Amino acid sequence: MPTGEEGAVAVGAADAETLPGTGPRRSALRAAMKLLREEGWDAVTQARVAEASGVGRATVYRYWSDRTQLIRDAVVARLVVTPHILPTGEFRADLINELSYLRHYLSENDLAPVLAALVDRAEWEPDLMQVKCDLVDQGMSLIRSLVASAAADGTLRPDVDPHASVSVLAGPLLYRRLLSNEPTDDAYLTWLVDSYLESHGFKSHLRPARPSTT
């Protein structure tokens, strides 16, 4: 369970056990996600999914005659259930809590390998590029909403761009998890949020010293 500022409440499902659907289709999607997470893109075939899920091969092919569509549906189903916080109206705390949930699902759950596989294949498959863009748009919607509300009520400067803010706030977590493998502890999240707030007009909190990377 992620940690953050007091009062965070998750909205949405907590893990892959809550993938949508029932019966053999759900079992097949769960098996596809497990294969993708543990063995990578090439392991997710109709035959392997049938074997891993106990669903008949003919049934798997009936649901997904195309292997890419099978992987697409598994990725979509998994990412759709990743939760967000329930905003409390306290902008700084809400921002820290939302980033804390993102950190949790990148570091302690299966979101990072799923995203890595999706980013990799999307470069060569236009349909998956659209899936990637749609899922990122959905996944970052709460951060954009929090920023837009804060700009509207005077907490942030009125010219703050909510879309650019996603890159500033969520981008470092993705970079550290997928590229540099640097820590993203609570001190880092607090520094990240307070640095953003100081730079964009929020003056109630002083930026702390940069956290150690060791």
Residue 213, pLDDT score: 57
Tell which CATH architecture fits domain 83-199. Orthogonal Bundle (1.10)
Between CA 158 and CA 53 the distance in angstroms is 51
Q: Which CATH superfamily is domain 20-78 in?
A: Homeodomain-like (1.10.10.60)
Q: What is the pLDDT of residues 126-144, one digit of tens each?
A: 878 888 888 888 889 999 9
Sign, Cα dihedral of 147, 153, 155, 157: positive
Is-above-0.85 flag for pTM? no
Q: What is the pLDDT of residues 26-61, one digit of tens each?
A: 899 989 988 988 888 889 999 999 999 999 999 999
Between CA 68 and CA 172 the distance in angstroms is 30
Residue 208, pLDDT score: 52
Q: What is the pLDDT of residues 178-189, one digit of tens each?
A: 899 999 999 999
Match 């306290």 to its residue by tokens: 90
Instruction: Pinpoint the residues of the chain covered by CATH 1.10.357.10.
Output: 83-199
Instruction: Pinpoint the residues of the chain covered by CATH 1.10.10.60.
Output: 20-78
Task: Name 190's Cβ contacts closer than 8 Å, sequence gap at least 6.
Answer: 96, 208
